[in-house]
Structure 1
């Protein structure tokens, strides 16, 4: 699967009658953004995905009471991407421990609802998780979405599938996220490293 991950950065912007901004293809540091802000630049537009043949997106679902349903969150995400002209291959559904409830059946249904909405919108879907997350959120043996590719998160530093232990109906992953928060190539910082065969 030839895919890169599309990561979204949302910036809060204050608007006035006249607003200055910049666009660039270069990376900008935090101190660079702070300097721009202090010089009255209030927005930034960065180029993403240019010249990359394979771009994916991932959705980190929200489970607070004010969030929409599983289907609504997928619908809102896909519509925002499409309305913004973003082209992406797979929408990876991020299933990791963070604000999921303790009801395994409810969590299973939430995931099934996200997948169903992806399919109804013609979106290719994959699942991002690992053994520990899966065990705690839906139960290690639940195989309700094993027909979809697995993006396996295991920071063992090895760009291979050698230490993968089957779970959730998956006999092997499609992608391995093997290291996190590292200085990436091309002066891009705090990235997660991924590998596929």
Structure 2
């Protein structure tokens, strides 16, 4: 009996694992239905770009995914660091206002913290991220961080634990759908999501990154 119960627990744990995708290309409602049927339970379109503009394709993707019956629909902001870009807070504000105007919402808004045009000053980078988080929280929006050990090290420093209370979407293309290679950083002892494979042809012909939640 003990073995039988243990086996059931293992089966339950395995069945709880979920697969998801993130992407930037336009995806129709019908294709999202195909993606859902293929066993993918969460999707994360980009909703703001690194050049400082709303991603209207991504916002429509959020709408289409929800119309297809997906309920775990997130979005991510790729922050713009150029001097002519909106402020950190306004990048979040514009994104959330645009989603609301489109009649939709994201379950979690992820902030993509990876090396692209970030200044060398860790203090200013920390302040930028903090401003984004505060704005999301002012909207009562659940917010999380997308990053990995080396991006975090270069952008804000490994000693910065200021966002460790948020969920971590961990990006490491190791081809393994688990957390076995995770090395703690930034105050996180465990991620929430593992982005385990980069740009590839995913379900239903969509070009995606592959993600996993245990």
Normalized per residue, the structure richer in helix is 2
TM-score using structure 1 length: 0.78
**Structure 2 counterpart of 1:145, from 147, 151, 163:** 163
1:65 CA displacement: 1.1
1:86 CA displacement: 2.0
SS in 1 for 2:204: coil
Distance, in Å, in 1 between the alignment partners of 2:106 and 2:22 is 8
TM-score using structure 2 length: 0.72
Deviation per residue, 1:134-167 (Å, 9 max, x gap): 0000001210000000000000000000000000
1:87 CA displacement: 2.6
Distance, in Å, in 1 between the alignment partners of 2:79 and 2:147 is 13
Greater relative contact order (Cα < 8 A, sep 6+): 2
- Judged with a 3 Å threshold, the aligned counterparts in structure 2 of structure 1 residues 5 and 187 are, in CA distance, closer, same or farther, namely closer
Task: Give 1:37's aligned residue.
Answer: none
1:24 CA displacement: 7.1
1:25 CA displacement: 3.3
Rg larger in 1 or in 2? 1
Give the number of aligned pairs.
168
Distance, in Å, in 2 between the alignment partners of 1:58 and 1:77 is 10
Matched, 1:100 2:118: yes
Cα RMSD over matched residues?
2.4
Distance, in Å, in 2 between the alignment partners of 1:126 and 1:24 is 26
Task: Give 1:196's aligned residue.
Answer: 213
Matched, 1:56 2:61: no
Task: Give 2:30's aligned residue.
Answer: 25
Task: Give 2:99's aligned residue.
Answer: 81
Matches within 5 A, 1:45-194: 48-49=64-65, 50-188=68-206, 190-194=207-211
Structure 1 residues without counterparts, runs of 5 or longer: 11-22, 28-43
After the TM superposition, list the runs of 4 or more consecutive aligned residues in structure 1 that deviate by more than 3 angstroms. 1-10, 23-27, 44-47
